[in-house]
Structure 1
């Protein structure tokens, strides 16, 4: 009997062992699933990129990248131009190199920016396209590095005068065009914009022209007033003052930990959203942006950071106030008041909330900005299509912008839209059921947008509903970045911003950029190298080409000189 029990015990142990092994084998994730998990949960671009490269290798997508042929772009044209560029650089043929650059100054040459080329692989696009852009950028660098001489007209070698080189790079830069980052709305989701800016900045892809609308104007102001050295601390959240959101007894910013408090906060913010277009108290946001931006004007911020800040505002049709505020159109206007004006609502519908724009006079005193004294500002979503077109078109006219990078963070639109360059990660990571559901939701959203747009064209759409029109009409090539949010993220609309929530949204914003990094490099690498080369060559130019400061700054300098002070207010021309 004892022998039978012993044998039975051995059988049970062996069966249990193999049962565990089979269960472990059956439930074990495949390498693809493991790397997809790392891709979705990565907290740094380097981790995300490593996962993307492994997935390309496991799924054979690196073979697709190695094969230059594709029906989505003219790969023969790109291959031919790549060979010509390589030959011209190897032979040191400067004239041919310049001619090749000038003849191909199109961001979408041969359709190389088609989204279909960037949603097939996780880590990038065709190696041919990447090599071509690298060769173009290095060719610009070669031109910048050419030796200069006082007079190269009778020279025997490939040398230029500094002025000739400056003219060549300037004309090439002008022909290629420039990019701007547009930050659109977002309520508390607008904190994602900080993550978008951070990801672009760390990859060297942040445009020097930044545009903000509504909540995006607050974030754009926060970013554009800081120098390159200050931005890392700001974008990590360490340099941001959130004291304006500190709990106040008896106010909406008090403790919302209990269910009753959350419910009351929800009702209050829903009422505010229906009237003002925001979940958070706009006055608190105003205090926050003023605490972080200070009383800087557009021109002072530009002279400090060399970044062009644009803030769009909407009025009720009166003339005298530009719809686009920057260091050219409103140099002495305080930035924080312009950001407040961009967040203004329509007084005739929702009660008057007077927005006063302030400026600095010749003595540096803060006074009301005269052109805006009789103007009522309104929220941009309450304007017509033609009104909403004009600010972005004006940016294109003023700064030669032909490429728009749009960060879209409006909470009521995110479920219906998707980033243009989302990569295959969203497709590979979801089941077929989730894929179909997500597709149907987007199709319904697109159909609703289309019908609302038709009503808006006929002026039949109430102002309170117009906010659900998804995007502004972008007058040139564009790329839309959309953070991926979950249903639980909408509960965070009830939370008071803290350092923890700020870190959370910054990471969300970063993740929305990482799948688009390869596409942004193709679109912006040449532009960035042209800009960098132009700034380097200008330093060797004799300091005679200077842009005068504003009249107020000039008068202030004269006053200081009379008092014995010493200073210079000149700023570089076209430093942006």
Structure 2
């Protein structure tokens, strides 16, 4: 077998891998066959400032080995910057099948070792509370990643695969956002601990029955073509009756759920523990899944002072979060200091264009078609923007507003994971998914994520280490205060 035939065979096997271990072994074999290893071992590249990374790495290592806690603290507090030297540039992660420059991995590892060393060192002059404030300040300055999951109805099973791939490599962000179908997965993550998550990665253990036909008459009356109670019971069975705040206290994950307004003078909302701590999580997910005409608008529910369920903002109703804010990246930047977005995109009306755009991005002969599509989108936005602002008919105004939002919002992140749909997938959008359907989409989610793990690791590992240090130090602070109370 000649070299090219061998490479083609390996590429085919790579696309068919059924586990990360299998995928990584084939990817590394491909890198060896294509002589990519030398590129990874050589730190030089004009894409990033390798000299800055090398200097910083050796400085941190020397301070740690010399046990210079004061110098190490100062170096981390002043010199730890996200995307230092442009090390997160996507081009550095497209040169090989597995990983990137060894220097980048070594730098990230050294920073994480230094952070843990400082966090765990018993001889630090800082009290636990002071050390906690120190690490919080670094995280605030450095920023953190977020996982955002789009709508997509039953196609949202893809999200579970992406989550599984991230969770298994300890790269699942603490900040999670979801709209429509993505809100259900976000709520699952927000209400279940790491020990409980594996049960949701087994397609045979999932029994998802969210769809039940309500009848043509129900739809024509504006009550939705699908039974909302069926969806509510499905969501509530898996999520329980946790509030946003209770969920965060249970798992440490910050869940954010998008909902869209019904009336034109309302604003979209991002529901989270910060903005709506007493809101019932299942209620937020139900509202975010209320696709107009498919389901009726939803009145949100909260826990009152007595622990009983009561209406939240009782005069208002809410619908599908994807309509206005499928991916609330800007809001997450303000609420959670997010500086890197991992997007799992499954919207059936978006995915084909993402795939086409990716395939055409470097092909000059596709430029006219891309320009034409850009012009059509621009003029479409202008038309619907005019109608939503100037028409007096409430139905036209509302519909125009929704169409404007669908056209004007962005559907991509710093890393965008998306499936490859076939006709059968579109046919199953509004059907109760079988275990086989879920399994297939989950595997697609994993396969889409594995090649992006190196880039995600560069952006996320330091933030994850900071978050783990903060969690450990909070426990130390509580223990220290308990000791002081006993002494007193």
TM over 0.5: yes
What secondary structure sits across from 2:203 in the alignment? coil
Out of 233, 239, 251, the position equivalent to 1:293 is 239
- SS of the equivalent of 2:349 reads coil
Mapping of 1:346-425 within 5 angstroms?
353-369=296-312, 371=313, 373-380=314-321, 382-383=323-324, 388=325, 391-418=328-355
1:85-484 residue pairs with structure 2 within 5 A?
85-148=60-123, 159-237=125-203, 240-244=206-210, 284-315=230-261, 316-318=263-265, 323-345=269-291, 353-369=296-312, 371=313, 373-380=314-321, 382-383=323-324, 388=325, 391-418=328-355, 444=369, 448=373, 451-453=376-378, 455-456=380-381, 459-460=385-386, 462-463=400-401, 465-466=403-404, 469=407, 471-472=409-410, 478-484=414-420
SS at match of 1:122: coil
Structure 1 length-normalised TM: 0.72
Is the 1:382–1:463 Cα contact (8 Å) retained in structure 2?
no
CA 1:215–1:50: 2 relative to 1, 3 Å: same
- CA shift, 1:217, in A, is 1.0
SS at match of 1:325: strand
Q: Which residue of the partner structure matches residue 396 of structure 2?
A: none
Structure 2: distance between partners of 1:234 and 1:324: 25
- Out of 445, 452, 464, the position equivalent to 1:516 is 452
Q: d(CA) in 2 for partners of 1:60 and 1:140?
A: 34
Deviations 1:271-304 (A, max 9, x none): x9xx99x998766544321221133221222222
In structure 2, the CA distance between the partners of 1:296 and 1:541, relative to structure 1 (3 Å rule), is: closer
CA distance in 2, matches of 1:390, 1:481: 13
Q: Aligned pair in 2 of structure 1 residues 179, 218: CA closer, same or farther (>3 Å)? A: same
Q: State the 1:313 CA deviation.
A: 1.2
Distance 1:178 1:494, change over 3 A: closer
- Give the deviation of 1:81 after TM superposition: 1.5
Residue in 2 that maps onto 1:18: none
1:313 match: secondary structure: strand
State whether residues 43 and 103 of structure 2, in contact with CA within 8 Å, keep that contact through their aligned partners in structure 1.
yes
Whole-angstrom CA distance in 2 between matches of 1:209 and 1:442: 37
Kindly provide the CA deviation profile for residues 136-179 of structure 1, in whole angstroms up to 9, marking residues without a partner as x.
1111011112114xxxxxxxxx6443333223222212211122
CA contact (8 A) 1:344 1:379 kept: yes
Change (3 A) 1:137 1:544: closer
- List per-residue Cα deviations over 1:527-550 (Å, max 9, x = no partner): 11111112112222145889xxxx
Residues 306, 129 of structure 1: CA spacing in aligned structure 2 closer, same or farther, 3 A cutoff?
A: same
Tell whether 2:57 aligns with 1:76: no
1:71 deviation in Å? 1.3
**Closer, same or farther: CA 435–174 of 1 in aligned 2, 3 Å:** closer
Match of 2:394 in 1: none
Structure 1: any 5+ residue segments left out of the alignment?
1-24, 149-157, 254-267, 423-433, 547-576
CA distance in 2, matches of 1:52, 1:222: 32
The aligned length equals 464
Post-superposition shift, 1:68? 1.0
CA contact (8 A) 1:323 1:391 kept: no
Q: CA RMSD in A?
A: 3.6
Q: Is the 8 A contact 2:350 2:411 kept in 1?
A: no
- Residues 353 and 41 from structure 1, CA distance in 2 versus in 1: closer, same or farther, beyond 3 angstroms? same
Q: In the aligned structure 2, how far is the partner of 1:191 from the partner of 1:439?
A: 35
In the TM superposition, residue 396 of structure 1 has moved relative to its aligned partner by: 2.5
Contact 2:132/2:474 (8 A) holds in 1: yes
Decide whether the 8 Å contact of 1:133 with 1:525 is kept in 2.
Answer: yes
Report deviation, 1:463. 4.7
User: Which entry has the higher C-alpha Rg, 1 or 2?
Assistant: 1
Q: Is the 8 A contact 2:209 2:231 kept in 1?
A: no
Relative to the length of structure 2, the TM-score reads 0.84
Tell me how far apart the structure 2 counterparts of residues 334 and 54 of structure 1 sit (CA, whole Å).
Answer: 49
